[in-house]
Amino acid sequence: MKLIIATRNAHKLEEIRSIFNFQELEVLSAFDFPDIPDVVEDRDTLEGNAVKKAVEIAQATGCWALADDSGLEVEALGGAPGVYSARYAGEECSYADNNEKLLRELSGKESRSARFRTVIALSDPGGSAQTVDGECPGVIIEELRGENGFGYDPLFVPDGYSETFAELDSEVKNRISHRAQALQRAHEQWANLLSSL
Ligand code: ITT
């Protein structure tokens, strides 16, 4: 049986593949279906977008699909950029643009507390979906540090560490991250279901 990882983000796909043990399942991704249109992420919650991505890809392929919607929630910014993390600095913006905007918005703020959140949705081929979530608390530092990871990783130091996610080894990030927590819950809740597909 095939399971489709409903993402076109290569970094995210690599993290999901290295964290989650898919056992006997044949795992493909949205990159294997270039003709399927991009899912428009127009919901105002991570849950809404994760379910939308999983359901649309499951229905388009006739396979089970798993989607990840993630965001960075910054306390002093009232939870922004949150569900809008990918397009924080505007449509077609780069990770560098987003990081620059985040530093600008946080300049002079006392609190630099933040958390990454991930919602994972699993949809059957008919479009019936369930979700789990995970989070990782930390702080936003004042300049970019490190080359690993992607997105906001060079600005985020997880609680209990002094390096950013972009400085830490990927093995460490993949053990403690928001995505790792969510995939751990996915494993607890769906291992039996996935192994019976
Ligand atoms: P898909 O929708 O195709 O999966 P995406 O990049 O659009 O890929 P999201 O909608 O979940 O993914 O957007 C989340 C954004 O939040 C992403 O573009 C990054 O900027 C950021 N982000 C998500 N996970 C992250 C992580 O582990 N480390 C750093 N930044 C992350």
What does each of the 197 residues of the chain score in pLDDT, given as a tens digit?
899 999 999 999 999 999 998 888 999 999 999 999 899 999 999 999 999 999 999 999 999 999 999 999 999 999 999 999 999 999 999 999 999 999 999 999 999 999 999 999 999 999 999 999 999 999 999 999 999 999 999 999 999 999 999 999 999 999 999 999 999 999 999 998 988 88
CA of 62 to the centre of ligand 1 (A): 25
Report domain 2-195's class: alpha beta
* Closest residue to atom 20 of ligand 1, CA basis: 151
Domain ranges of the chain: 2-195
Q: What are phi and psi of 27, to 5 degrees?
A: -105, 120
Catalytic residues: 69
Q: Pick the closest to residue 72 from 16, 13, 135 (CA basis).
A: 135
* Closest residue to atom 12 of ligand 1, CA basis: 69
Q: Cα–Cα distance between 164 and 25 in angstroms, integer? A: 33
CA of 16 to the centre of ligand 1 (A): 12
Contact 120, 133 (CB under 8 A): yes
**N- to C-terminal Cα separation, the chain:** 6
Question: Letter for the amino acid at 160?
Answer: G
CA 72 to chain CA mean position, Å: 10
Contact 133, 118 (CB under 8 A): yes
Q: Cα–Cα distance between 137 and 9 in angstroms, integer? A: 23
